[in-house]
Structure 1
Amino acid sequence: MIVVCEFISPSGLQRLRQAGMEVYYDPQLWQDRPALKARLAQATALVVRNQTRVDADLLKAGPHLKVVGRLGVGLDNIVQPDLEAAGVALYYPRGINANAVAEYVLAALLHLARNLVGAAAHVAQGGWNRTAFGGFELSGKTLGLIGLGEVGLRVARRARAFGMQVVASDPMRLPWEMAVEDLEIRLVSTPEVLRSAQFLSLHAPLTPETRGLIRAETLALMPRGSYLINTARGELVEAADLVAALRSGHLAGAVLDVVDPEPLPAEHPLRGVDNLWITPHIAGLSAEAQEAVSLRVAEGVLHLLGVA
């Protein structure tokens, strides 16, 4: 049996069932851990997104598990040493939603530069103040990237097409790599990225070193009037310090697609900040990306089960 406890596209679900496997699908099952454990008793595969914590406790409930499929690229909810100890394989579609996330970052950049939403709301309320909503151009501005993986490179390519200068930090990249050279990305230290970036976009994984990376000390390095975009992980940003920087005017604005915790509680300090826009972790959720993720994970899980 394959247990799918979070949302999968209809095409992905159909592919699993076409292989002749019994599939139990309940996209809300992750919310009831005892019920999920009961379903795992006879399961050979488990398919999750980012809400299900897969650890030793859960794996004990699935003595026949052979593979866990992750519908997405982040692995924060997967305790990989526990999978290894249990002899359970992991499949996830590395980089498959990178285009969707990169396009979201471009949308955020354009939103911060031109404020179409604010201008449209102004007109809807009867206004016609053209000078208040002229905005500014991205061309000639500096975009800083922390993390230059699958998403970061795609963001850099799109930013360069808009005439932006790109600086980036990533310990896994070398300045003479073809992608870095072709896009004319300047690789520098993280503090130098912070000091240079008029727009800062985060694309680093969550690690002990990156947790709380954006905090009062690092925000102070950024130019006054700069902007922050985070599509990586909410834990990279200290919420209270970000709010202070936005309210003081040190940062002119921020767009967050990820927060900590998710969903955002009603009384969270990030709520009610005028120059902060928060979306519900949608950057990688384009229709095309979801189809691709679901089909790729279905194929990967079936392959590891030996029934593809």
Structure 2
Amino acid sequence: MTTKPRVLISDALSPAAVQIFKDRGVEVDFQPDLGKDKDRLAAIIGEYDGLAIRSATKVTPKILEKAARLKVIGRAGIGVDNVDIPAATARGVIVMNTPFGNSITTAEHAIAMMFALARQIPAADASTQAGKWEKNRFMGVEITGKTLGIIGCGNIGAIVAERAIGLRMRVVAFDPFLSPERALDLGVEKVELDELLARADIITLHTPLTEKTKNILSAENLAKAKAGVRIVNCARGGLVDEQALRAALDSGHVAGAAFDVFVTEPATENVLFGHPNVVCTPHLGAATSEAQENVALQVAEQMSDYLLKGAITNAVNFPSITAEEAPRLKPYIALAEKLGSFAGQLTETGIGRVRITYEGEVAGMKTKALTSAAIAGILRPMLADVNVVSAPSIAKERGVIVEEMIRDAGGDYDSLVTVAVETERGERGVSGTVFADGRPRIVDIKGLKVEAEFAPSMIYVSNEDKPGFVGRFATTLGDAGVNIATFALGRDQPGGSAIALVEVDGPLPADVLARVQTIPGVKQAKPLAF
């Protein structure tokens, strides 16, 4: 009987998400306060296949070391700052987020902050409720006809752009990844940053925090901005130099700022606090009941799909695989990993380059996932801890060049995967396919046609095609009590080079391998394990 996968929820998550796990056949343990107790979390995490979190749980390398069964971490929300991605990747743990569940809510908060800034609503509210009635003090500005500059026009930025156009604003956007076609569809003008700074009456930021975007509104760029500009940040603390912004507010060059995010959070004190033209909220961008429900439901669906079907959605450290693709991909992932393992076990020197070629129907599948599997297979004989999630980054760290080639037309097979490994001694290639029974097979080794299934214990022999080899080989194994299960042969021409791929019952003893290597005509003999 197959045991149900177990998921731990260690942060406050909607009860509806708990129900989704249960309805889908996943055993769920709901402990919403556990994330605050890292020692307790470390003590029990080893019992679970999945971990569902929000922002309170910190998934550190120490936690991951204890997570022997863990396959997936699901973050209900967009930010995964509280998960050590490299450590999770190294352990083969998929890390998912829900990047679109709170997009509308965050975009609406940015629009709300823009209005609050333009009409000084927080200060006017405080004044009025204090009984002052300072009607002449709060002179606002109209939004209509103003130019909105959007830095980062991805999912949330695009929603802000659509809302702003509906408010009859002109919208310019700086985003290196925004295509001209997408800009046209949105009705925004794509510009460089300097032009946006010079033209925008209001600037709103909707970009991730990276080395390239950190302090994108620096003192230098704030100085380039239009005098009287207003700045809204509901994206990430650190996109704006807070000290430089305070100076620009004090000088009047920046007319106002509305911030929902800060460099240090929780922000109990900040250089922007107390300025009369600053509006602040405590990271409320995603804080609506609808958004929290959406991301909770999404993360439960995504994690269930992965644990039950192998589907991968919104993973930050592995290619996405749909629920429909997963069953089709599964045998090809096994094929790619075994082909890689075959090449890796026969490679005795440093690997410089790996070339993986996909031909026929497999060329239209998610080849990135297959490539990860092949690289894992190649590296595992040398690096035991490598897995399909960590393999690409480990290969990169070691300077291994990985190339993918796609060919639509196959030859003798509907689908063909070829893994070629290049070392200082030359190149070794092995090809395979998946037959109708769903089992992967080798069909070509170094250009020699041979058909064989992968088996737990095998022997690979390259030899001269001379009479008597097969008899001597079989006798050598028979005399040692080693039973041959299957025997596949291939050669380039009569009397030329030949190969044998032999399945045996159980691992081959070292002394028997040594005897095989002494058979006349044998060039190489290697035991293989799959």
TM-score, reference length from structure 2: 0.55
**1:203 pairs with 2:197:** no
1:73 is matched with which residue?
Answer: 78
1:163 is matched with which residue?
Answer: 168
1:80 deviates by 2.9
1:300 is matched with which residue?
Answer: 302
Q: Give the secondary-structure state (helix, strand or coil) at the position aligned to 2:150.
A: strand
Q: Give the secondary-structure state (helix, strand or coil) at the position aligned to 1:69.
A: strand
Larger Rg: 2
Q: Report if aligned partners of 1:97, 1:284 keep a CA contact under 8 Å in 2.
A: yes
Q: Report if aligned partners of 1:113, 1:136 keep a CA contact under 8 Å in 2.
A: yes
Aligned length: 305
Rounded to whole Å, the distance in 2 between the matches of 1:237 and 1:61 is 38
**1:126 pairs with 2:131:** yes
**1:269 pairs with 2:274:** no
CA change 1:305–1:273 in 2 (3 A) is same
Q: Report if aligned partners of 1:257, 1:282 keep a CA contact under 8 Å in 2.
A: yes
Rounded to whole Å, the distance in 1 between the matches of 2:134 and 2:85 is 55
Deviations along 1:33-62, one digit per CA (max 9) or x if unpaired, are 222111212111111223434343321120
Q: Give the secondary-structure state (helix, strand or coil) at the position aligned to 1:306.
A: helix
1:20 deviates by 4.6
Amino acid at match of 1:150: N
**1:233 pairs with 2:236:** yes
CA change 1:120–1:56 in 2 (3 A) is closer
Rounded to whole Å, the distance in 2 between the matches of 1:53 and 1:26 is 15
Q: Report if aligned partners of 1:41, 1:61 keep a CA contact under 8 Å in 2.
A: yes
1:305 deviates by 0.9
RMSD: 2.0
1:62 is matched with which residue?
Answer: 67
Bigger Cα displacement from structure 2, 285-294 vs 7-16: 7-16
Deviations along 1:51-79, one digit per CA (max 9) or x if unpaired, are 43434332112010011101111233333
**1:247 pairs with 2:250:** yes
Deviations along 1:190-237, one digit per CA (max 9) or x if unpaired, are 222222211111111111111222221111111121111111110222
1:157 deviates by 0.5
2:290 is matched with which residue?
Answer: 288
Amino acid at match of 2:204: S
Q: Give the secondary-structure state (helix, strand or coil) at the position aligned to 2:48.
A: coil
**1:222 pairs with 2:225:** yes
2:154 is matched with which residue?
Answer: 149
1:272 deviates by 2.4
Q: Report if aligned partners of 2:119, 2:140 keep a CA contact under 8 Å in 1.
A: yes
Q: Report if aligned partners of 2:117, 2:279 keep a CA contact under 8 Å in 1.
A: no
Deviations along 1:76-127, one digit per CA (max 9) or x if unpaired, are 3333333222111222222221111111111111111112333333333333
Amino acid at match of 2:233: N
Structure 1 alignment gaps of length 5 or more: none
Deviations along 1:117-143, one digit per CA (max 9) or x if unpaired, are 333333333334433334121011111
Percent of pairs with identical residues: 38
2:192 is matched with which residue?
Answer: 189
Rounded to whole Å, the distance in 1 between the matches of 2:242 and 2:135 is 34
Q: Give the secondary-structure state (helix, strand or coil) at the position aligned to 1:201.
A: strand
The equivalent position to 1:8 in structure 2, one of 2, 7, 13, is 13
Higher RCO (CA < 8 A, seq sep 6+): 1
Rounded to whole Å, the distance in 2 between the matches of 1:57 and 1:247 is 45
Amino acid at match of 2:107: A
Rounded to whole Å, the distance in 1 between the matches of 2:238 and 2:244 is 13
Rounded to whole Å, the distance in 1 between the matches of 2:236 and 2:196 is 19
Q: Give the secondary-structure state (helix, strand or coil) at the position aligned to 1:234.
A: coil
Rounded to whole Å, the distance in 2 between the matches of 1:25 and 1:307 is 22
Q: Give the secondary-structure state (helix, strand or coil) at the position aligned to 1:193.
A: helix
Q: Give the secondary-structure state (helix, strand or coil) at the position aligned to 1:131.
A: coil
Amino acid at match of 1:78: V
Q: Report if aligned partners of 2:77, 2:98 keep a CA contact under 8 Å in 1.
A: yes
Amino acid at match of 1:112: L
Higher strand share: 2
The equivalent position to 1:172 in structure 2, one of 177, 187, 191, is 177
TM-score, reference length from structure 1: 0.92
1:84 is matched with which residue?
Answer: 89
Q: Report if aligned partners of 1:3, 1:39 keep a CA contact under 8 Å in 2.
A: no
Structure 2 alignment gaps of length 5 or more: 1-5, 311-530
Rounded to whole Å, the distance in 1 between the matches of 2:234 and 2:123 is 22
1:113 is matched with which residue?
Answer: 118
Deviations along 1:2-51, one digit per CA (max 9) or x if unpaired, are 12222211211222234454433333322222221112121111112234
1:146 deviates by 0.7
Q: Report if aligned partners of 1:239, 1:270 keep a CA contact under 8 Å in 2.
A: yes
Amino acid at match of 1:299: E
